[in-house]
Amino acid sequence: MAKHHVTTTINGEPVEFLCSTRQTLLDVLRDELNLTGSKEGCASGDCGACSVMLDGRLVCSCLVLGAEAEGKSVETIEGMAEGDRLHPLQQNFLEDAALQCGICTPGFLVAAKALLERNPDPTETEVRYWLAGNLCRCTGYDKIIRAVMRTAAEVRGEAS
Amino acid sequence: MTGEKTEFKWVGTRAIRPDGHDKVTGRAKFGSDFALPGMLQGRVLRSPHAHARIRSIDTSAAEALPGVKGVITSADFADQPAELAAAGEALVNYRDMVRNVMAREKVLYDGHAVAAVAATSAEIAEAALELISVDYEVLDHVIDVDLAMEPGAPILDEELEPAGMEASGPTNIAKRVDFDLGDVEEGFAKAEVVLERSYTTAAVHQGYIEPHAAVASVSEDGQAQIWCCTQGQFMVRAYTARLCGMETSQIRVTPSEIGGGFGGKTVVYLEPLATALSRKTGRPVKMIMSREEVFRASGPTSAGSMTYRIGATRNGVITAFEGTIRLEAGAFPGSPVQPACMCAVAPYDIKNVRLTGYDVVVNRPKVAAYRAPGAPISAFGAESIIDELAKELGFDPLQLRLKNAAKQGTKAAYGPTFRRIGYEETVEQAIASEHYSAPLGPNQGRGVASGFWFNIGGESAATVNINEDGTAVVVSGNPDIGGSRASLALMAAEELGIDYTKVRPIIGDTSSVGYNFLTGGSRVTFATGLAVVEAARDAVRQMCERAAKIWEVESDGVIWRDGHAVPASSNVGDFEPLSLADIAAQSPKTGGPICGHNAQNVQGAGPGFATHICDVEVDPETGRVTILRYTAVQDVGRAIHPSYVEGQIQGGAVQGIGWALNEEYIYNERGQLENPGFLDYRIPVASDLPMIETVVVEVPNDRHPYGVRGVGEVPIVPPMAAVANAIENATGVRMEHLPMSPPRLLAALDAARLPEAAE
């Protein structure tokens, strides 16, 4: 079957790609565009390791077809740092040891950034429920939650 | 904190990990992130049956499909003899291994590999699988360990000869192990209280988020390169060489970043298949497991069944402990029943102990190591019955543990006499914690439990290269699964006396660093850390010699202090200290490159102990358990990087909470796994949990230069009993089977309520 020609925006840059009907956005990012920061942990929308923003909405890219990106804007982990400056969440994940193996980290960072843009002052419970779709098997979540809460406080201008 | 506190510049700091930036930006390359030009995609055909004889396999239609470049079956692997061979510290049976990576006479579990295809795309490879025709003779199967031991049970392997016991006919029992200390009959004769209980635990998966992945490329001259996510590149090399009939020097294995393992990546699944397919097709072959394949065909750890008897005097002295532990091995022998027996009551000084263990094959995937293999299973029962004993005797459960605590000089039931250990300190710190005396509300309860793990040493090799500009590279050979590069670099910086950021730790492939046993047994910071420290000291020795040469003095007249060579005393002469950078810059004319080496089989791992406190609230209407508060106290010897030590403790505790409350393999009546996905195999999520409080106790291991014991495994040992004991404390209902999921707990609560309602 002929491939679809898709015109989209990824991390602010115009991008064109060809994909088959069955290829997911995650497949396209990883296999066609070499953006391997988004990870496949389950391919069923359960683990959140492939989290990206699609037109400002947090989605599992394994549940979106590549062809659906037509005319939309995609933001991935590769676009999170600005030049050589890490996003405050990235910096605080490092300082707070909020990662061990690191496979879930891109998904957590994308999801946490989406939370803080929507709710700059979340409670611990709100952070825990927002991130309940991102699985981490290494950390027990403790240091991840703390890093997100600390970042929220810093962004609000409160001392941590 | 206990133990000697010495001032260090780097050890004990919370430095940013050297691999961190790559991991928060998406740059880090994990198993499935690797690709080569011209690469084929490989897929595996798996058995839909739990137990069946393979009459024939017809791959001709698949091979004829355009785009298919190669198909392999067991015919592509030479059979292996039934012998236990040493592979690092592990003993492996290659006859079983060759059958596990590709079924031969029979399939032994749902998901067992029967053929594999390499094609120009994943779609074509998957279509080809549909075209492979396997003629199966379906056989009766057995999933449950106790049923598998009964007479008349379906037999997995007619030729299986059990070790450590006599068998009158075909059996599923692969091995019996016995541990005896003192005289249990005499011990029970002294007891004033005797309890006997039985417990079971479910099979659970390690649950790493990264599925197994490998790329293999075999060239025409027979040399192979493999890139894969593994806990041990040398293990992959050894096993692949054996199964594919190659020499180890022909294979170079480069470990990728690894997305979790917990023991589950200490074996091979895809690597020999990808290598065989690459050899057959002449192209690089990439293979990735789906999540469903991970659940059906990799890991898990054993389900267990155990019966325990404990005796004590009224004043709280445990006089005897006797038990039988039966663990499922999966399709091939090799459950962790031996460590399960050895760890069951290791925290206690009990004079009379008898434990018998059985290793039993069943129609499930062959078990793989999972964090403190075996110990969490046996400890669930042991720490539950000790809790019951405390209640029976009217003792506070931690005070009873303290009264019977193992200490320096205690002879453990599994053999050794403990050197200095920190178990008592963990109990004392738990008793002293604010958590232990905090008030509880209605439907709430508190439970405690302890745990033990040996920790291991093993073969380690490391190199410390001093660079010409005064920086250093540490080359070691253990995949970094949770921050070990940071701890190695901290110790190297401490030894060299240079800034941590000037030390870059890398993990070598199998051809660029000496042999290292795999990442496991909580060994890397301890054992490979020791090799790194010794390699750094070797580099320092060389730098002192270079300084002596420059100063024209005897080499024993120079010592190393704060990153500088200085005269050992004023008798040597008056010289300006030479920094590491000064010596490095002059190295071409003082003897050439400065490379410190060390390679050894490290001994002297320090046993680890932990004591956990768990508060729960039980919903009496639904049986749902909420973890309200959790504190984990652990003796780590020395925390080289406290954040990652805490992280190991927190992560292990939460895996244990999942094992306690939710996780289990669910099979249908045909022996097929019904929950091979994260939706139905539910690991803990962020909203299930509170913060996990940690209390890091430091009783240094006197056989490591910085006192390291090993951290990663102990924390998964206590949680299941801590949760069960908390549920009992909240409801009066004793749960003896895992998981304590809402339907099971509700049924138990209802059963307990019925007599009350009838009154």
Residue contact A143–B643, C-beta within 8 A:
yes
Q: What is the pLDDT of residues B496-515, one digit of tens each?
A: 999 999 999 999 999 999 99
Burial (0-12, 13-18, 19+ Cβ within 10 Å), B164: middle
pLDDT at B757 over 90: no
Contact between B226 and B514 (Cβ < 8 Å): no
Q: Is residue B23 part of a domain?
A: no
Residue B343 — very low, low, confident or very high, per pLDDT cuts 50/70/90?
very high
Q: Which of B579, B602, B625 is the last residue of a domain?
A: B602
Interface of B with A in 203-242 (CB under 8 A): 206-211
Say which CATH number the domain at B714 has: 3.30.365.10
Q: What is the pTM of this model?
A: 0.97
| Residue of B322, B459, B664, B713 marked active site | B713
Q: How far is A7 from chain B (nearest CA, A)?
A: 23
pLDDT of residue B754: 79
pLDDT of residue B86: 73
- Give yes or no: residues A94 and A72 share one domain: no
- Give yes or no: residues B313 and B417 share one domain: yes
- Give yes or no: residues B554 and B636 share one domain: no
The number of distinct structural domains making up chain B is: 3
Return the percentage of chain B with pLDDT > 90, whole number: 96
Strands A51-54 and A13-19, how do they pair?
A: unpaired
Over residues B2-23, the mean pLDDT reads: 84
- Among A74, A56, B513, B478, which residue's Cα sits nearest to residue A65? A74
Q: What is the pLDDT of residues B293-337, one digit of tens each?
A: 999 999 999 999 999 999 999 999 999 999 999 999 999 999 999
Residue contact A127–B686, C-beta within 8 A:
yes
CB atoms within 10 A of CB B17: 26
- Give yes or no: residues B239 and B342 share one domain: no
- Give yes or no: residues A67 and A92 share one domain: no
Over residues B8-25, the mean pLDDT reads: 97
- Give yes or no: residues B642 and B597 share one domain: no
Q: How far is B23 from chain A (nearest CA, A)?
A: 6
- Among B737, B741, B744, B628, which residue's Cα sits nearest to residue B681? B741
Cα B331-B336-B341 angle, rounded to 5 deg: 135
CA–CA separation, A55 vs B646, rounded Å? 38
Contact between B740 and B625 (Cβ < 8 Å): yes
Residue A105 is nearest to which of B24, B258, B290, comparing CB atoms? B24
pLDDT at B90 over 70: no
Residues 6+ apart with CB under 8 A from A25: A52, A54, A61, A62, A64, A65, A66, A68, A69, A74
- Give yes or no: residues A96 and A48 share one domain: no
Q: Is residue A115 part of a domain?
A: yes
Rg (CA), chain B: 27
Q: Is residue A134 part of a domain?
A: yes
DSSP chain A: -PPEEEEEEETTEEEEEEE-TT-BHHHIIIIIS--TTS--S-SSSSS-TTEEEETTEEEEGGGSBGGGGTT-EEE-GGGSSBTTB--HHHHHHHHTT--SS-SSHHHHHHHHHHHHHH-SS--HHHHHHHGGGS--SSSTTHHHHHHHHHHHHHHTT---
- Give yes or no: residues B442 and B331 share one domain: yes
Q: How far is B596 from chain A (nearest CA, A)?
A: 29
Residue A100 is nearest to which of B483, B683, B686, comparing CB atoms? B483
- Give yes or no: residues A75 and A9 share one domain: yes
pLDDT of residue B5: 44
Return the percentage of chain B with pLDDT > 70, whole number: 98
Residue A90 is nearest to which of B25, B209, B210, comparing CB atoms? B25
pLDDT at B402 over 90: yes
Q: Is residue A160 part of a domain?
A: no
Measured between CA atoms, the residue of chain B closest to residue A104 is B209
pLDDT of residue B2: 35
Residue A160 — very low, low, confident or very high, per pLDDT cuts 50/70/90?
low
- Give yes or no: residues A65 and A132 share one domain: no
Q: Is residue B77 part of a domain?
A: yes
Q: Which of A53, A79, A105 is the last residue of a domain?
A: A79
- Give yes or no: residues B585 and B665 share one domain: no
- Give yes or no: residues A95 and A74 share one domain: no
Q: Is residue A147 part of a domain?
A: yes
CA–CA separation, A39 vs A52, rounded Å? 10
Q: Domain residues for A58?
A: 4-79
The mean of the pLDDT values for chain B is 96
- Give yes or no: residues B409 and B473 share one domain: no
- Give yes or no: residues A105 and A136 share one domain: yes
Tell me whether B88 touches chain A (CB under 8 Å): no
- Give yes or no: residues B596 and B701 share one domain: no
Residue B4 — very low, low, confident or very high, per pLDDT cuts 50/70/90?
very low
Q: Is residue A97 part of a domain?
A: yes
pLDDT at B634 over 50: yes
The number of distinct structural domains making up chain A is: 2
Q: How far is B11 from chain A (nearest CA, A)?
A: 16
- Give yes or no: residues A51 and A115 share one domain: no
Query: Chains A, B: CB contacts under 8 A, how many?
Result: 184
Residue B3 — very low, low, confident or very high, per pLDDT cuts 50/70/90?
very low
Say which CATH number the domain at A102 has: 1.10.150.120
Give the 3-state secondary structure of residue B343.
helix
- Give yes or no: residues A40 and A94 share one domain: no
Q: Which of B545, B573, B602 is the last residue of a domain?
A: B602
Q: What is the pLDDT of residues B180-239, one digit of tens each?
A: 999 999 999 999 999 999 999 999 999 999 999 999 999 999 999 999 999 999 999 999
Helices (H), B586-641: 587-590
Q: Is residue B160 part of a domain?
A: no
- Among B370, B390, B373, B375, which residue's Cα sits nearest to residue B318? B390
Q: Roughly what angle, to the nearest 10 degrees, separates helices A88-95 and A105-118?
A: 130
CA–CA separation, A100 vs B332, rounded Å? 32
Residue contact B21–A94, C-beta within 8 A:
yes
- Give yes or no: residues A60 and A120 share one domain: no
Q: Which of B560, B587, B602 is the last residue of a domain?
A: B602
Q: Is residue B743 part of a domain?
A: yes
Measured between CA atoms, the residue of chain A closest to residue B13 is A95
- Which pair of tokens denotes residue B707? 């006192």
Distances (CA, A) of B23 to A104, B269, B364, B483, B643: 9, 26, 35, 12, 17
Q: What is the pLDDT of residues B543-596, one digit of tens each?
A: 999 999 999 999 999 999 999 999 999 999 999 999 999 999 999 999 999 999
pLDDT of residue B758: 58
Query: Would residue B713 show up in a list of annotated catalytic residues for this protein?
Result: yes
DSSP B327-338: EEEESSS--THH
pLDDT of residue B703: 95
What's CA B30's distance to the chain center, in Å? 19
- Give yes or no: residues B650 and B688 share one domain: yes
- Which pair of tokens denotes residue B245? 């009939």
Tell me whether B255 touches chain A (CB under 8 Å): no
- Give yes or no: residues B614 and B590 share one domain: no
Residue A86 is nearest to which of B24, B30, B482, comparing CB atoms? B24
Q: What is the pLDDT of residues B732-744, one digit of tens each?
A: 999 999 999 999 9
Instruction: Tell me the backbone φ, ψ of residue B443, rounded to 5 degrees.
Output: 60, 15
Q: Which of A60, A79, A98 is the last residue of a domain?
A: A79
Work out whether the CA dihedral B455, A99, B684, B610 comes out positive or negative. positive
Give the 3-state secondary structure of residue B744.
helix
Q: What is the pLDDT of residues B249-272, one digit of tens each?
A: 999 999 999 999 999 999 999 999
Interface of B with A in 109-128 (CB under 8 A): 123
Q: Which of A58, A79, A100 is the last residue of a domain?
A: A79
Say which CATH number the domain at A23 has: 3.10.20.30
Tell me whether A125 touches chain B (CB under 8 Å): yes
Tell me whether B692 touches chain A (CB under 8 Å): yes
Q: Domain residues for B320?
A: 304-455+606-758
Residue contact A94–B20, C-beta within 8 A:
yes
Burial (0-12, 13-18, 19+ Cβ within 10 Å), B755: exposed
Q: How far is A33 from chain B (nearest CA, A)?
A: 12
Q: Roughly what angle, to the nearest 10 degrees, separates helices B719-731 and B642-661?
A: 50
CA–CA separation, B530 vs B120, rounded Å? 46
- Give yes or no: residues A142 and A99 share one domain: yes
Contact between A103 and A54 (Cβ < 8 Å): no
- Give yes or no: residues B236 and B323 share one domain: no
- Give yes or no: residues A42 and A17 share one domain: yes
CA–CA separation, B22 vs B28, rounded Å? 5
Helices (H), B363-466: 375-393, 397-403, 423-432
Say which CATH number the domain at B55 has: 3.90.1170.50
Residues of chain A found within 8 Å of residue B262, distances taken between Cβ atoms: 137
Tell me whether A24 touches chain B (CB under 8 Å): no
- Give yes or no: residues B121 and B245 share one domain: yes
ipTM: 0.98
pLDDT at B755 over 80: no
Residue contact B21–A132, C-beta within 8 A:
no
- Among A98, A111, A87, A88, which residue's Cα sits nearest to residue A39? A111
- Among B437, B436, B409, which residue's Cα sits nearest to residue B423? B409
